[in-house]
């Protein structure tokens, strides 16, 4: 079978109506069995779906290249008997961003609309459809009933809409990457959105940024926990709908993961985000279970919670079905399920300005996290792996290619903190108690600090090839950090000098808890004393980063929501907390563009939730 890079196979000639319904065509009362799916009338298709909820999960785009764009949707079928629903796609290419009214008018003008179809939203794929628009190679063995597939032009806005019967989805917007030379790129970085913990006010803040080219999501897009296990969703309602997780129990089965993805896609702020910008996503641990690694997870009990490999397979399958990212593997024709061994790491280019390399530091190659007692010396073991051999070799090749092909900036989009963190020598932290220190060390051993040899290998390679302008993007820990990356930052304490080999930007969470009041301030004050390479921390507020890149400099600005628990304040920014840093090309040094308020010390203890980061 050819490598397929879209979800929802095109309908080949001869697929009968009876095969669209699990029990055959006789009980459906829709036409004759010989009717082919691509020739179903609108009324016939309407019987296969729930018209008022047909596209309730919205649309999404992702993984843009200079000539292609992933577009995605999901269909709500009319009953459990339905197996397939035929779906078509219409899209418009525009050199400029259109006003909303102009977009609607454009879709009414058939001379501007290009159509593509028919695709099947079918049960084996959770009734999702994902199309690699513009990637002609992905469709070499496909049959289309109308329209021709064209390679997309670079640097253009793509407006798209799906149709099923008489129903139409909302209109989505994405943008293809530009070709060289590129003078500027601007994107948002976000992570860690636990639905029962609060409203997605941060996503609405991103929606208000009119000038973004795309959004990078660094994982923990959703969480596996049941109700009251990590946030009380019953205490919050959005448009009258409770934020109690679906299902109300922890995700374990295939159905559980599908229900949770579907619930997230119905959130109005997240749905608008997907419709407004192409997303470049990667998973972290909570898409499977807390503190996942290659062969297990902290939040998985073998036996009582099933077999971890099966659970991981369920999670991966649901992720690929429900997320707008490009797939790089064959789908088995009998099941169309992704191979759970498959990779998510990939590289995207923004002309000659920057490359984005997305990594998997969670499940493809990670050994189990080190234990806490005595700060387990196994974290220094040269044989311990975080990336795995295949991903490590691939990453080295991508870094070398990025440098040789002239990318001015290279971004590593990944999950966990790369820079070193010295905790044990901080007297202020010790005063907060052993529980606080234990929680912080546990979190830290889940980061690159727990895999020292792996970090050394990557750093040495970066130094060896002479790479400049490296920016590491990080999520996972629900807090904001900016730091310079050194081989041995402790030398800076005594006035030593070492040129940094990159910088790291850590994005705060959308809703997941950081440090509480008091503790956050103490840690922010204490950290720079033993960690002079850390230039900024904000450890309790919810927000995102806007990254603006030109050949001469990179600017990162942290922005924060006023509230994630007040429905009236959704999308409102706490502008007083903005913090901006820039890095001049060739320096790898963070320059603060504003000072911000100085934290005030306190003595409260960290909550137990920190353990679930």
Please tell me whether residues 165 and 191 are part of one structural domain: no
Query: pLDDT band for position 24 (50/70/90)?
Result: very low
| Residue of higher predicted confidence among 395 and 52 | 395
* Residue whose entry in the numeric block shows the structure tokens 């390399």: 357
Counting residues of the chain whose pLDDT is more than 90, the rounded percentage is: 70
- Residue 545 maps to which CATH number? 3.60.21.70
Co-location of 112 and 133 in the same domain: yes
Indicate the number of domains in the chain.
2
Q: In b/e form, how buried is each residue of 287-322, taking b as 16+ CB within 10 angstroms?
A: bbbbbbbbebbbbbeeeeeeebeebbbbbbbbbbbb
- Structural domain includes residue 297: no
| Per-residue model confidence as pLDDT tens digits over 245-300 | 999 999 999 999 999 999 999 999 999 999 999 999 999 999 999 999 999 999 99
8 domain residue, yes or no: no
Please indicate, yes or no, whether residues 497 and 604 belong to a single structural domain of this protein. Answer: yes
Q: What is the pLDDT of residues 186-196, one digit of tens each?
A: 999 999 999 99
Residue 285 within a domain = no
Average pLDDT value over all residues in the chain: 86
In this structure, the answer to whether residues 112 and 253 fall within a common structural domain is no
* 297 touches 307 (CB < 8 A): no
**328 plus 458 within the same structural domain:** yes
- Report the Cα 249 to chain-centroid distance in Å: 23
* Together in a domain, 261 and 358: yes
**Same domain, residue pair 62 and 108:** yes
Say if 301 falls within a structural domain: no
Q: Residue 60: give the domain boundaries.
A: 17-175
Instruction: List the beta bridge partners of residue 555.
Output: 548, 582
CATH of the domain at 34: 2.60.40.380
Alpha-carbon distances of 285 from 249, 292, 342, 363, 612, rounded to whole Å: 18, 5, 16, 8, 10
Asked, for residue 514, whether it belongs to a domain, the answer is yes
286 domain residue, yes or no: no
The two tokens of residue 89 are 């796609």
On whether both 332 and 356 belong to a single domain, the answer is yes
190 lies in the same domain as 169: no
For residue 584, list its beta bridge partners: 553
In the predicted structure, residue 11 carries a pLDDT above the cut 60 = no
Q: Are residues 142 and 199 in the same domain?
A: no
Mean pLDDT of 466-480: 98
Any idea which residue has 């922890």 for tokens? 250
The answer, yes or no, to whether residue 505 has pLDDT greater than 90, is: yes
pLDDT band at 429; cut points 50, 70, 90: low
Q: Tell me if residue 387 falls in helix, strand or coil.
A: coil
553 and 487, same domain (yes or no): yes
Cα–Cα nearest to 410, from 465, 463, 355: 355
Question: Residues 561-608: pLDDT tens digits?
Answer: 999 999 999 999 999 999 999 999 999 999 998 744 333 333 232 233
Residue 365 inside a domain? The answer is yes
Q: Are residues 170 and 40 in the same domain?
A: yes
Residue 293: inside a domain, yes or no?
no
Q: 596 or 494: whose pLDDT is higher?
A: 494
SS3 148: coil
Q: Is 426 exposed, middle or buried (0-12, 13-18, 19+ CB in 10 A)?
A: buried
């Amino acid at each position: 079978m050819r490598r397929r890079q879209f979800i929802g196979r095109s309908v080949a000639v001869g697929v009968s109506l009876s095969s669209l319904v699990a029990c055959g065509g006789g009980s459906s009362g829709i036409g004759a069995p010989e009717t082919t799916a691509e020739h179903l009338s609108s009324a016939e298709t309407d019987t296969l779906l729930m018209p008022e909820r047909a596209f309730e999960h919205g649309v999404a785009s992702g993984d843009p290249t200079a000539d292609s764009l992933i577009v995605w949707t999901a269909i709500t079928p009319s009953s459990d008997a339905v197996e397939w629903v035929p779906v078509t796609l219409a899209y418009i290419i525009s050199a400029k961003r259109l006003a909303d009214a102009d977009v609607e008018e454009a879709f009414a003008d058939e001379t501007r609309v290009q159509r593509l179809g028919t695709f099947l939203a079918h049960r084996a794929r959770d009734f999702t459809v994902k199309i690699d628009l513009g990637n002609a190679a992905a469709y070499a063995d496909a049959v289309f009933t109308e329209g021709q597939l064209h390679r997309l032009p670079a640097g253009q806005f793509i407006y798209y809409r799906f149709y099923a019967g008489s129903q139409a989805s909302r209109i989505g917007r994405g943008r293809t990457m530009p070709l060289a030379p590129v003078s500027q790129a601007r994107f948002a970085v976000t992570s860690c959105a636990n639905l029962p913990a609060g409203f997605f006010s941060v996503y609405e803040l991103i929606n208000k940024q009119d000038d973004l080219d795309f959004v990078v999501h660094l994982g923990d897009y959703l969480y596996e926990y049941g109700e009251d296990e990590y946030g009380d969703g019953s205490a919050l309602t959005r448009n009258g709908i409770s934020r109690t997780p679906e299902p109300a129990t922890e995700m374990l089965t295939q159905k559980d993961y599908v229900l949770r993805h579907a619930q997230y896609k119905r959130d109005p702020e997240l749905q608008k985000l997907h419709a407004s910008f192409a997303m470049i996503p990667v998973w972290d641990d909570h898409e499977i279970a807390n503190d996942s690694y290659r062969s297990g997870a902290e939040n998985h009990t073998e036996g009582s919670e099933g077999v971890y490999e099966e659970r991981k397979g369920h999670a991966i399958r649901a992720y690929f079905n429900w997320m707008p990212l490009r797939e790089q593997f064959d789908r088995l024709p009998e099941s169309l399920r992704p191979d759970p061994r498959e990779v998510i790491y990939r590289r995207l280019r923004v002309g000659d300005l920057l490359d984005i390399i997305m990594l998997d530091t969670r499940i493809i190659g990670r050994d189990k996290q080190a234990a806490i007692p005595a700060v387990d010396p196994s974290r220094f073991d040269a044989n311990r792996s975080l990336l795995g051999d295949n991903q490590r070799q691939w990453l080295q090749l991508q870094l070398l290619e990025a440098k040789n092909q002239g990318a001015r900036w290279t971004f590593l989009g990944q999950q966990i903190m790369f820079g070193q963190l010295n905790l044990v020598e901080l007297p202020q932290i010790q005063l907060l108690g052993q529980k606080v220190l234990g929680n912080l060390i546990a979190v830290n051993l889940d980061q690159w600090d727990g895999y020292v040899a792996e970090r050394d290998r990557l750093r040495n390679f970066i130094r060896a090839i002479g790479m400049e302008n490296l920016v590491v993007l990080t999520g996972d820990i629900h807090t904001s950090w900016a730091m310079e990356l050194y081989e041995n930052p402790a030398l800076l304490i005594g006035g030593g000098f070492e040129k940094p080999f990159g910088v790291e930007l850590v994005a705060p969470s959308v809703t997941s808890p950081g440090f509480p009041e008091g503790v956050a301030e103490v840690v922010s004050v204490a950290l720079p004393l033993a960690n002079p390479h850390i230039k900024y921390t904000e450890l309790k507020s919810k927000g995102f980063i806007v990254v603006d890149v030109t050949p001469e400099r990179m600017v990162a600005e942290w922005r924060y929501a006023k509230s994630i628990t007040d429905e009236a304040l959704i999308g409102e920014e706490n502008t007083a907390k903005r913090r901006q840093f820039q890095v001049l090309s060739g320096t790898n040094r963070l320059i603060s563009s504003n000072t911000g308020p100085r934290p005030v010390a306190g003595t409260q203890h960290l909550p137990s939730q920190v353990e679930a980061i």
